Amino acid sequence: MQHKEIVDNTSQFLQQYVGERDIDPEEEIFSSGLVNSLFAMQLVLFLEKEYNLKIDHADLDLQNFKSLNSIGDFVISKKQS
């Protein structure tokens, strides 16, 4: 699975929650206020379903979810573990 594919796919998902504007893969999606706090669990559900993952307490690290690029890194490392 390619990093770019995950970033594009997650970007498409995220787009539904932010409306019209483009999202830079490095943009910090939570700290910039781009999404509200409900999105945190929507993102967890999306990643779990889309990539057949089980996200648990050990994955609760802001670095894993802060931007599209970090989400891409997280999914790849989770799939490899």
- Nearer of residues 41 and 81 to another protein, judged by Cβ: 41
The reply to whether 81 sits near another protein by the rule CB under 8 A is no
CB atoms within 10 A of CB 13: 15
Indicate which single residue of 57, 63, 80, 81 sits in contact with another protein (rule: CB under 8 A).
57
59 Cβ partners below 8 Å, 6+ apart? 74, 78
* Residues that bind another protein in the complex, under the rule CB under 8 A: 13, 15-20, 30, 36-38, 40-46, 48-49, 56-57, 60-62
